[in-house]
Structure 1
Amino acid sequence: MRNSPDPARLNAAIENVHRAGMPGLFAEVRHGDEIWRGAAGVADTATGRPVTAGMRHRVGSITKTFTAAAVMQQVESGRIGLDAPIGRYVPELVPGARGDAITVRMLINHTSGLAEYLPYAYPSLKAFPVLADTGPQSLDDNRFTRFDPTELIEMGVTAPAVGPPGGTPGVYSNTNYLLLGELLRHVTGAPAAQIITRDVIERAGLRDTELPVEPYLGGPHAKIYEAWFGMIDPRRDFSVYDMSWVGPAAALISTVTDLNRFFRKLLAGEIVSPASLAEMQRTVPVVSQEGRVIDYGLGLHPMEALGPGAFWGHGGTVWGAGALAMTRADGGRQMSVAVTAQRWNRLDSTGRPQPHPIDAALADFYRLAMYG
C-alpha cells in the first residue's frame, strides 16, 4: 500500500465526484510533510468560474470542535466545571431541575436531552427529521433573519425532551452548542465568537478562519447550492446567509488548509492540554441528525467507517455547503474536504434519502485520501 498522496489518483478521484453531480469541491490531503491540494468543478454554475483549493467555505458543525476547545480552555482555567450543572451559570436559560441535572459535559457530548430548536425556528421544517414532511420555504424566508441565540435556546429548552439528562444514546442537538456559547459569554464577559477567535483560531495560527458577523462570505469563495432532497430544483444559491441561526454551533468560515492545521494542533495537545484532549476523546453513543448512532466525544468523534485505523474529526453542513475533516490519531495523515452542494439525495416513497452517485464517489475519494 502506498502511503504518500498519489496526485494523479487523487485528481482523478476528486474529478469523479464532480462528474457524479457535485458542482464543485476542493480538498487538502497531508501525509507527514507531503501535501496534495486539489479541486474539481465550478465555483459558480452560471459563469463556469472554476473552483480552487484555497477558497474560503462555510464548514458547518466543524464549528463545534472549535467551541468545545474554547470551553475546555475555560475548564482548565477553573472558570467552568466540566461536570458542573449548567444552571449554576445560566439558570435563566435552563431553569429549575433541568438546569441542576444537565452538566456542561452533557451539552458538549449531546447527552443533555435538550431538543433541536431548528424545527421551531424554521416552520417548514416542523416535521424534521421526517424529511418527506418538510419543505424548503423557511430556508429562503430566513436568509436575512437575525436570530437572538437566547430565543433559539428557549425553543429547544421548552420543546419536549428527547431523553433524560445524561441518558444514552444521546441525541445530537444544536441547542447544546448555543448554550455553550452563552456559557462562554457568562464566564468571560465577552461574546463567544470573540473568545473562540482569540483562544482557538488565533492560537492555532489560522489565517482564513472566522465566525462571521455579516451574511456575506468575504475573500475567494464558491457559491453554495441547496437541493433539499430534490424539493429545490434546480438547486438554489445560499452563499449569502445570516448565520445567527447556528452561531457557535455551525457558523464557521474556514479553508481546507486551516482545518487540517487546526486538527493537527488539537490532536498534538497544542490547543487544549493533553488531559483536556483525553476528555474530548471519551465517547458516548449519540444519534446523529441522519439517524445513525455514532460515538461522540466532546466536540470530536472517531471516524473508522472507511476502514482500519483511528481517525478523529468532525463533519459539517449548512444550507448549501458541506465539509469533512479527518486526522489520524498520530497526526500523520489528514484530509479536509469542502463541497458546494447539500442534500442532493432524492427521497424514496418512505421518505428516506436514496443513494446517489455522489455518495459512492465521495466514499472512494475519502478512502484514497486517508489510506492511499
Structure 2
Amino acid sequence: MKRLLPTLVLSVAVLAPGTTPPALARSAPPPPTVELHDALRPVVAAGAPGAIALVAAGRRTRTAAVGTADLGTGRRMNAHDHVRVGSITKTFVAVVALQLATEHRLHLDDPVGRWLPGVLPYADRITIRQLLNHTSGVPEYFDKLLQHNATQPGAPQLRHWEPRELVGFVAGEPPLFPAGTGWQYSNTNYILVGMIIEKVTHRRLADEVDRRVIDRLRLRDTTFPTDETTLPKPAARGYWDLGPGTAPLDVTEYNPTALGAAAALVSTTDDVARFYRNLLTGHLLPTPQLTQMLTFVDHDGGLGYGLGIARIPTPCGPAIGHDGAVPGFATNAYASPDGRRQVVIAANLFPGRQAQTQEESVSTLFCGSS
C-alpha cells in the first residue's frame, strides 16, 4: 500500500527567501493565549487538522492548541499531545556524539571507516564531523527505501529495519561530491552516526539517548522508539494530505526503525523547547563542544547547518534549532542563540499544504517573544 509508506523531509525546512511575517505592532496587545491562537489558526486554515504552539521567554511559557487531534473521534488538539518530531532527533543524536568526543571515546575527525569498516566503499574518506554537518556527500537512502516498499505486499511500513540495511540502499552508489567540498542534507549521514555511537558504546542508540539526554533533562514525554508503531497517550493522530476534495489519510502507525537516528523521536512541544533551552545554555555540552556544534556551514543564501542543528534567518535575527517532518507530523523548533527564547509549532499533517504557513507562524512568534 504505497500511500501508507513513511516519508520524511529530505532537506531542512526554512523560511522562504523574502517572506515577511504579519506585522507585530498593535496599539493594545491581546492576551498571550489569543496571540498564540492567532498564529495557529492560519496553519489549520491551510489544511492541518490541528496544531500546537509553545512560546517560552525566560521563565514564562505559553502554550495553545487549535483544531482536531483525531478526525475519527473529533477529539480536540491538546497542547500536551505527543507527536513524532522527525529530524529534531538529529540534534539529540549529535549531542550524544559530541559527549563521546568530550570523553575522548571518539574524535569528530575520525574516518567513518575506523568505526564501520566496509560500510561504504569510500568510508575512509569521510569523517564523523562531515556526517554531522551534511558535508560527507553520502547519498540519501530514503528514496530507495520507498521504492523498495512500494513493491512489497502487506504492510511494509510496519517492518523492522536494521541500520546497516538502510545504508545498504546507497552503499553501491558513488558519493554526491568529494567529502568536504559541498553540502547536501542526507538522512543516511545520521543512520551512520547512530551506528558509530553503538559501536563506540556497545549499547543501543536508544539507550544512550535516554541516558545521556532524555533522563538527564527529565524529558518525561520524550521517547526514542524502536519497534513501537503506536504513540504514547495522549497523542495526536497523524495525517497525510491526499489533495483537495480528499479526506486526509491516517498514517499514525508505522515502524520507526525506518527512521532510526535520523528521525525516530517522539516528544511534546514542551519537552522539545526544554531540550533546546538546556542545550544552548550549556547544560548538555562543555563550551568547546557546543562551539563546534554551533559552527555552521553556510548554504542556500543565509541558511546554515552545524552539527545536528540549523540556523535560519528571521526578521529579528537568527534562530537556531531544527525542523522535523515524518508521515503525519511537521514540527518546527527554534530558539534564540542564547537559549532564552524558544518557539515550537507542531501540526498533525505531512505532507501538507500548511508547511509554508507553519514556517511563517514560527517566525512571527519568534520575533514577538522577546
Class of the TM-score when normalised by the shorter of the 2 chains: 0.7 to 0.9
1:71 to 77, 97, 117: 97
CA displacement at 1:269 relative to structure 2? 1.1
Correspondence 1:307-322 to 2 at 5 A: 307-322=315-330
Identity score, percent? 35
- Is 1:297 equivalent to 2:315 in the alignment? no
Greater shift, 358-367 or 217-226, is seen at 358-367
Secondary structure (helix, strand or coil) at the match of 1:73 reads: helix
Distance 2:291 2:37 in 1: 36
Distance 2:295 2:347 in 1: 29
- Is 1:284 equivalent to 2:297 in the alignment? yes
- Is 1:113 equivalent to 2:137 in the alignment? yes
Q: Who is 2:231 aligned against?
A: 217
Deviations 1:272-316, CA, capped at 9 Å, x for gaps: 1111111011111457xxxx9841100011121x31312110000
Distance 2:99 2:172 in 1: 30
Greater shift, 37-46 or 137-146, is seen at 137-146
Task: Give the CA RMSD over aligned residues.
Answer: 2.4
CA displacement at 1:231 relative to structure 2? 9.7
Secondary structure (helix, strand or coil) at the match of 1:39 reads: strand
Q: Who is 2:84 aligned against?
A: 58
Deviations 1:245-291, CA, capped at 9 Å, x for gaps: 1101100000000000000000011111111111011111457xxxx
Call closer, same or farther: CA 1:324–1:4 in 2, change over 3 Å.
Answer: farther
Q: Who is 1:368 aligned against?
A: 364
Deviations 1:139-170, CA, capped at 9 Å, x for gaps: 984221111110111212322321111112x1
Distance 1:155 1:323 in 2: 27
1:39 to 65, 73, 81: 65
CA displacement at 1:360 relative to structure 2? 5.5
- Is 1:160 equivalent to 2:197 in the alignment? no
Distance 2:233 2:347 in 1: 17
Contact 1:115 1:156 in 2 (8 A): yes
Secondary structure (helix, strand or coil) at the match of 1:185 reads: helix
Q: TM-score, normalised by structure 2?
A: 0.86
User: What is the letter of the counterpart of residue 325 of structure 1?
Assistant: A
Correspondence 1:327-338 to 2 at 5 A: 327-338=335-346
2:124 to 100, 106, 122: 100
What is the aligned length?
341
Q: Who is 1:324 aligned against?
A: 332
CA displacement at 1:364 relative to structure 2? 4.3
Q: TM-score, normalised by structure 1?
A: 0.86
Correspondence 1:259-278 to 2 at 5 A: 259-278=272-291
Secondary structure (helix, strand or coil) at the match of 1:123 reads: helix
Contact 2:36 2:53 in 1 (8 A): no
Contact 2:94 2:307 in 1 (8 A): yes
Distance 1:223 1:139 in 2: 24
CA displacement at 1:94 relative to structure 2? 2.7
Where does structure 2 lack aligned partners over 5 or more consecutive residues?
1-24
CA displacement at 1:341 relative to structure 2? 0.2
